[in-house]
C-alpha cells in the first residue's frame, strides 16, 4: 500500500528513511517504511492501515517543520573562525579588503564592544564606486575560508552605526551581507535604508522582509498592499517585495530588531542557503530569538559554488559621512560558540 503526501511544506527537503516495528492492538506485526525525497514522502506498509499511514506522515512533517535550525554534525562543521580585532592591523588570514580603501578602515581602541579593539569602517561623501553609482567600503571573508552555498554555519558579531544618517529615504544602504558568486542581490542582508534597521532574504529577484527595527513585520505585507507606505520609509520600490516567493517566516515573541545607531547590537545568524527549498536563516539579536525563514533562498543565476560574508557600508552616493564599528566576529558550528552576548562585557 502506498500513501503519498500532496507535498512537503516549504523548507522541507532531503531524504529520510525510518523503519518501525510494533503491534497494532491484536493485529499481526506491521512494518512501515517511510521514504522522503524532494517534495514527496511515501509510506509503504506491509499491511493496510490507512489511518496509521496518514498519522505517521503528519508526525514526520510536523516534527521537521517546527524544529529549529540544527546544530551542524561533526563532519559538516565549518572551520571555526574568530576575530576580536585586538591586533593593530587587519588580519589578512581572515579578511579580504578588496572593496575598501586603506584609509577607510582602522582598529579603534576607544569604541569597542569588549576587549581592547574593534574594527571601524567609514564612508565619506567623496567616496565613489560602482562607476559612480555607489559608495562602498566593505571587507569580506578570505577566499580560502569561503563555504559552499548550502553548507550551514552559525555567525555572530557585534556592530553599531554612527555619523550623519539622512532623514530622507535612499534606495540602498547595506551594512552586512551574505553573497553567492552572483550578480544578484545578497541572499541575506542587513539594511539601513530610511534609517530603519531591517533584514531581508532573497528568492531570486523577490525580496522578503524578515525583521525590522521600525515595527513588527507581521503587518508589513498588509501595509504594503494598502499602498500607504508612510510607515515603511525603507521601501523605495514596492515591486521588490510585492512578488511571489517560496519563503516562509516564523516569528519570535517580540520580532522587532534593536536599533544599532549609537548602540552596540549583538547579532547571531544561522545561515544555510538552498534553491531547492532547503534554505534556513535564523536570526537572534541581543540574545533574543527574532525570526526564522525557510524555503527557496538564493539566486538561480550563479557562476560559482561558494558563498561569502561581507561587512561594511554599501550605499547610494550621499553627501554625508558614516562609520560602522565591528567586533567579536565568530563563525562556527553552534549558536553558543558564536553569540557575542554570552560573556561579553561593555
Domain stop point among 15, 43, 66: 66
Binned at pLDDT 50, 70 and 90, residue 169 comes out as low
Would the pLDDT of 47 be above 80? no
* Residue 343 within a domain: no
**Which grid coordinates are listed for 71?**
546544530
- Which helix (DSSP H) or strand (DSSP E) does residue 249 occupy? strand 247-251
Q: Can you read off the three cell numbers belonging to residue 7?
A: 507535498
Q: Is residue 344 part of a domain?
A: no
Q: Are 243 and 200 in contact (CB under 8 A)?
A: no
Do 51 and 110 belong to one domain? no
Q: Which residue do the cell numbers 527537503 mark?
A: 13
Last residue of a domain, one of 17, 38, 66: 66
The average confidence (pLDDT) of the chain is 80
pLDDT-above-70 percentage for the chain:
71
Question: Mean pLDDT lowest for which of 3-12, 83-92, 116-125, 196-205?
Answer: 3-12
- Asked if residue 43 is part of any domain, the answer here is yes
Query: 37 and 162: one domain?
Result: no
CA dihedral 47, 50, 55, 60 (to 10 degrees): 60
Span 96-120, average pLDDT: 97
The answer to whether residue 102 sits within a structural domain is: yes
Decide: 135 and 121 in contact? Cβ < 8 Å: no
pLDDT at 58 over 70: no
Same domain, 184 and 125: yes
The pLDDT score that the predictor gives to residue 235 is: 74
The single residue listed with the C-alpha cell 556592530 is 159
Number of domains forming the structure of the chain = 2
pLDDT at residue 193, rounded to an integer: 84
Residues 56 and 107 in one domain: no
Res 233: pLDDT: 66
Do 8 and 140 belong to one domain? Answer: no
Mention every residue, 6+ apart, whose C-beta is less than 8 A from residue 252: 288, 289, 290, 291
List, for residues 259-305, the tens digit of each pLDDT value: 999 999 999 999 999 999 999 999 999 999 999 999 999 999 999 99
Give the CATH number of the domain where residue 126 resides.
2.60.120.200
Does any domain span residue 345?
A: no
Query: Minimum mean pLDDT among 136-140, 175-179, 235-239, 284-288: which range?
Result: 235-239
Q: Which domain holds residue 24?
A: 2-66
Give the separation between CA 201 and CA 194, rounded to whole angstroms: 18
Share of the chain above pLDDT 90, in %: 58
Q: Which among 27, 6, 286, 303 has a CA at the least distance from the CA of 149?
A: 303
Same domain, 22 and 128: no
Quick check: is 140 in a domain?
yes
**Same-domain pairing of 98 and 44:** no
Sign of the dihedral through C-alpha 227, 228, 231, 234: positive
Mark whether 188 and 307 lie in a shared domain. Answer: yes
For 198-239, write each residue's pLDDT tens digit: 999 999 999 998 988 876 666 666 665 565 555 666 777 777
User: Quick check: is 56 in a domain?
Assistant: yes
Strand, helix or coil for residue 75: helix
57 and 198 belong to one structural domain: no
CA dihedral 255, 261, 263, 268 (to 10 degrees): 40
Residues 24, 149 share a domain: no
Q: Is residue 23 located within the same domain as residue 99?
A: no
User: Last residue of some domain: 48, 66, 84?
Assistant: 66
| 169 part of a folded domain | yes
The pTM of the full predicted model, rounded to 2 decimals, is 0.77
122 and 12 fall within a common domain: no
Kindly report which listed range (40-44, 58-62, 198-202, 329-333) carries the lowest average pLDDT score. 58-62
Amino acid at each position: 500500500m502506498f500513501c503519498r503526501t500532496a507535498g512537503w511544506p516549504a523548507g522541507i527537503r532531503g531524504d529520510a528513511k525510518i523503519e518501525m516495528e510494533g503491534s497494532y492492538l491484536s493485529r499481526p506485526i506491521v512494518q512501515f517504511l517511510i521514504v522522503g525525497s524532494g517534495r514527496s514522502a511515501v509510506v509503504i506498509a506491509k499491511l493496510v492501515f490507512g489511518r496509521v499511514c496518514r498519522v505517521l506522515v503528519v508526525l514526520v512533517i510536523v516534527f521537521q517543520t517546527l524544529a529549529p535550525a540544527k546544530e551542524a554534525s561533526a563532519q559538516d562543521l565549518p572551520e571555526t573562525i574568530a576575530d576580536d580585532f585586538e591586533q593593530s592591523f587587519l588580519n589578512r588570514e581572515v579578511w579580504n579588503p578588496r572593496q575598501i580603501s586603506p584609509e577607510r578602515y582602522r582598529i579603534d581602541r576607544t569604541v569597542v564592544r569588549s576587549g581592547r579593539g574593534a574594527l571601524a569602517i567609514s564612508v565619506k561623501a567623496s567616496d565613489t564606486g560602482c562607476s559612480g553609482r555607489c559608495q562602498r567600503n566593505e571587507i569580506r571573508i578570505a577566499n580560502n575560508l569561503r563555504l559552499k552555498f548550502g553548507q550551514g554555519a552559525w555567525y555572530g558579531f557585534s556592530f553599531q552605526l554612527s555619523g550623519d544618517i539622512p532623514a530622507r529615504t535612499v534606495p540602498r544602504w547595506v551594512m552586512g551581507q551574505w553573497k553567492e558568486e552572483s550578480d544578484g542581490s545578497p541572499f541575506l542582508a542587513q539594511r539601513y535604508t530610511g534609517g530603519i534597521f531591517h533584514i531581508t532574504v532573497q528568492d531570486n529577484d523577490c525580496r522578503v522582509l524578515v525583521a525590522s527595527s521600525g515595527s513588527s513585520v507581521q503587518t508589513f505585507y498588509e501595509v504594503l498592499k494598502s499602498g500607504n507606505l508612510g510607515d515603511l520609509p525603507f521601501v523605495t520600490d514596492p515591486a521588490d517585495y510585492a512578488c511571489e516567493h517560496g519563503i516562509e517566516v516564523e516569528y519570535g515573541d517580540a520580532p522587532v530588531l534593536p536599533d544599532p545607531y549609537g548602540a552596540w547590537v549583538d547579532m547571531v545568524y544561522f545561515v544555510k542557503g538552498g534553491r531547492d527549498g532547503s534554505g534556513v536563516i535564523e536570526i537572534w539579536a541581543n540574545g533574543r530569538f527574532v525570526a526564522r525563514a525557510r524555503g527557496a533562498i538564493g539566486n538561480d543565476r550563479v557562476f560559482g559554488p561558494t558563498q561569502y560574508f561581507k561587512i561594511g557600508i554599501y550605499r547610494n552616493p550621499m553627501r554625508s559621512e558614516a562609520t560602522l564599528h565591528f567586533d567579536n566576529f565568530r563563525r562556527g558550528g553552534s549558536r553558543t560558540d558564536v553569540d557575542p552576548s554570552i560573556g561579553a562585557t561593555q
